[in-house]
Amino acid sequence: MINEQLIDPQSIVVVGASNNLQKPGGKILHNILECYRGDIYVVNTNQGFVQGVKSYPTVHDLPKEVDLAVIAVAAKYCPSLVKSLIQEKNTTAFIIISAGFSEENAQGAQYEKEVVEAVEAINGCLIGPNCIGIINVNHHSIFTQPIPMLDPAGADFISGSGATAVFILETGVGLGLKFNSIFSVGNSAQIGVEDVLAYLDETFDPDKSSRIKLLYIESITNPDKLLHHANSLVHKGCKIAAIKSGTSEAGMRASQSHTGAMASPDTAVDALFKKAGIVRCHGRLELATVAAVFMAKELKGDNMAVITHAGGPAVMLTDSLSQGGIKIPPIEGPRAELLRSKLHHGSSVGNPIDFLATGTAEQLGEIIDACEKDFDHIDAMAVIFGSPGLFPVREVYEVLHQKMRTCQKPIYPILPSVVNADDDIKYFLSKGNVNFPDEVMLGHALSKVHNSIQPAKESIQMKGVDVPAIRALISGFEEGYLPPQQIQKLFSAAGIPMLKEIFIKDTDELAKHIPDVPYPCVMKVVGPIHKSDVGGVSLNINSSLLLEKEFHRLMAIEDAKGVIIQPMLQGTELFIGAKYEQDFGHVMLCGLGGIFVEVLKDVSSGLAPLSEEEALGMIDNLKGKQILRGVRGQEGINIVEFADIIVRLSTMLRFAVEIKELDINPLIGNENGIMGVDARVRIEKEVK
């Protein structure tokens, strides 16, 4: 795992270094030489000196021990190289940039395995193979460019793909994004994105560590680890944005249950990110823009002043912010009038504050000062200032730069003239600022960050869920769909209220139970999975005559093993579902039942175990939530009780990974309470 030798090595050897800067082994040595201050060695069979550094023909010939080895030779040489370095040079950190390992074929996978075993044996650290390397303040062991400006307040960026990391850097650099460190994990043979994040969490120092983390992830191999450390970092005051690509790869899986059809593997990623407090992005420009938002002071409140010298971008920004729920409130009164008097005739201060094409640097200073000190209801400023190409705008950008440092309120600069004011924008960025060249991208990213959910607390709400009883029940169950009586017992142990039902399998039992039947009642066939499709549900039975008739009809259905009788309830149909997603655990869904789940797919998701807060948040996200509060003369439901049931179920599932799919559909809710009416639970026991 990550060690001091990787992060701050006293000595580095580059194995396979070259004089050719068009080769990775040449470029990486070049990049290391540019700023590294420790001892550097080179191993190269052919050369006396490589880029001015004395070269040794083999690692055996190296004169001293070496902390970190950066390896750029063919895969087949790597296992023996790594072993020699470990045994002879006490090397404990390795970055292997070469390809030809597990990503290529079985032979490569074997090389990779040997390397990992050797490194693990000494509790060492391996980055890669098949990666571009790492950058931090101590060394630039990376073979690509650009090498961004490093800044302790910049982002720690971890990428599952080297090329994508490069492209994200290029996008970020254009916006003025700063970085503190970059880790490209390649094949993640030993260390994946989650492991680097864990390291950043475990070594987090509130005085020194960066508070911005960016992730590019292609596959999440350890969701629990990612969740735990992301959550922990966010609770420590960090901001995390991540791309998880491959949302469309698996598509929707065919499944017997509603939940199965609605919860794609990507729903689990969404639910995990939400729970962890990670802002999910879907493209490089979006990630870089969100990261640039992170670099500003935090937006506390949702009232923005839009300051501009041109109408159009201010209107588009206002549109975009309003859509994201950020307000551009009126600015008026004597102080607004005072400000107006300092601006050119024709300026407006109502918000947007438009100080016209002829607006000056001094006036911008006055406006920002007024927003900072005089307009208490303003929480942040966006400043739009471009150039038609007539005269330089450096003076304006200088004022903006100064005010961004002295003001308490965040200021978001929108400098759109990437052609006309190219030099001035570069100057502005060189002072450590970011720029949002497109106001609508800013509006979108800022809304996204502002509306992102607080991470959940990492505790399980037991609520009296009887875990030993649940474990005992599940041990006794067979695989497949549980029969109704078993579901009743299971749910009872978790405190999930289910409608009382009478199970009847023949006419004798029917005769025996006739006195207990509550009218009006519902009778449902037991056996077939899709009861409705085979006409297996009979509603509103209000006499023993009808009861007997319907019993015989239902028992004649193919696969009928009996019927259940339930009282017929009035209320709103609800739905709860859960699906086990390999490694992630259970994705929970909730919604209104009936057409809301079947036609409108109006469901919210979360990752078990859920807190009451999370469950209430899920319910609040439903488009049909107003119906739960009561509408059109129809009474509402007890929302807190609905949340409570979701939480209990999620707690039960956390201790019952054998449950792969679960639907309660419908539950019937009214103001008095909520009762599950019908449920389906599928169990698989093989260890996965």
Considering only residues 224-243, where is the footprint of a second copy by CB under 8 A? 243
CB of 8 to a second copy, least distance (A): 25
Looking at residues 418 to 437 of the shown chain, list those that interact with a second copy (rule: CB under 8 A): 418-420, 437
Cβ-count burial 564-593 (b if 16+ within 10 Å, e if not): bbbbbbebbbbbbbbbbbeebbbbbbbbbb
Tell me if 532 contacts a second copy by CB under 8 A: yes
**Total residues interacting with a second copy, rule: CB under 8 A:** 83
Tell me if 179 contacts a second copy by CB under 8 A: no
CB of 258 to a second copy, least distance (A): 13
* Dihedral (Cα; 202, 203, 207, 208), 10-degree rounding: -140
> In 3D, which of 444, 388, 383 has the Cα closest to residue 414?
383
Tell me if 166 contacts a second copy by CB under 8 A: yes
In the numeric block, which tokens belong to residue 538? 């009979």
Nearer to a second copy by C-beta: 441 or 449?
A: 441
Tell me if 600 contacts a second copy by CB under 8 A: yes
Member of 247, 402, 486, 544 binding a second copy (CB under 8 A): 247
Tell me if 162 contacts a second copy by CB under 8 A: yes
Q: First and final CA of the chain: distance in angstroms?
A: 26
Member of 109, 285, 467, 639 binding a second copy (CB under 8 A): 285
Q: Among 49-57, 161-169, 198-206, 488-496, which window interacts with a second copy (CB under 8 A)? A: 161-169
> In 3D, which of 133, 136, 181, 194 has the Cα closest to residue 155?
181
HSE of 586, CA atoms in CB hemisphere, 13 A = 29
**What string marks each residue from 181 to 220 as x (binds a second copy by CB under 8 A) or -?**
-----------------------------------x-x--
CB of 347 to a second copy, least distance (A): 11
**What string marks each residue from 333 to 372 as x (binds a second copy by CB under 8 A) or -?**
------------xx----------x---------------
Member of 33, 39, 174, 466 binding a second copy (CB under 8 A): 174
Rounded CA-CA distance 674/43 in Å is 72
Sequence-ordered strand ranges (E) for 300-443: 304-308, 353-354, 380-384, 411-414
Quick one: which H or E segment has residue 585?
strand 585-592
Looking at residues 100 to 119 of the shown chain, list those that interact with a second copy (rule: CB under 8 A): 103-105
Nearer to a second copy by C-beta: 3 or 670?
A: 670
Looking at residues 604 to 623 of the shown chain, list those that interact with a second copy (rule: CB under 8 A): 623
Looking at residues 31 to 90 of the shown chain, list those that interact with a second copy (rule: CB under 8 A): none
CB of 389 to a second copy, least distance (A): 3
Member of 2, 5, 12, 27 binding a second copy (CB under 8 A): 27
Nearer to a second copy by C-beta: 322 or 360?
A: 322
Member of 8, 39, 114, 170 binding a second copy (CB under 8 A): 170
Member of 38, 311, 432, 636 binding a second copy (CB under 8 A): 311
Backbone dihedral region of 604: left (phi > 0), alpha (psi from -120 to 50 degrees) or beta? beta
**What string marks each residue from 117 to 156 as x (binds a second copy by CB under 8 A) or -?**
---------------x----------xxxx----------
**Chain-centre distance of CA 67, in angstroms?**
35
Largest CA distance in the chain: 102
CB of 487 to a second copy, least distance (A): 23
Tokens 């999930």 belong to which residue?
Answer: 496
> In 3D, which of 400, 347, 353 has the Cα closest to residue 374?
353
Looking at residues 371 to 390 of the shown chain, list those that interact with a second copy (rule: CB under 8 A): 386, 388-390
Tell me if 319 contacts a second copy by CB under 8 A: yes
Amino acid identity, position 426: K
CB of 154 to a second copy, least distance (A): 17
Rounded CA-CA distance 397/394 in Å is 5
Member of 451, 485, 507, 626 binding a second copy (CB under 8 A): 626
Rounded CA-CA distance 385/392 in Å is 12
Tell me if 632 contacts a second copy by CB under 8 A: yes
Sequence-ordered strand ranges (E) for 373-425: 380-384, 411-414
Tell me if 21 contacts a second copy by CB under 8 A: yes
Counts of helices then strands in the chain (DSSP H, E): 24, 29
Looking at residues 445 to 484 of the shown chain, list those that interact with a second copy (rule: CB under 8 A): none
Member of 67, 194, 379, 439 binding a second copy (CB under 8 A): 439
- Please list the alpha-helical segments (H only) found in 433-584: 439-450, 467-476, 484-494, 507-513, 544-555
- Please list the alpha-helical segments (H only) found in 36-91: 78-89
The strand pairing partners of 564, in sequence order, are 503, 524
CB of 439 to a second copy, least distance (A): 7
Member of 33, 149, 150, 440 binding a second copy (CB under 8 A): 440
In the numeric block, which tokens belong to residue 422? 């190219």
**Side by side, which strands form the sheet with 68-71?**
49-50, 53-56, 39-43, 11-15, 68-71, 93-96, 125-127
CB of 631 to a second copy, least distance (A): 6
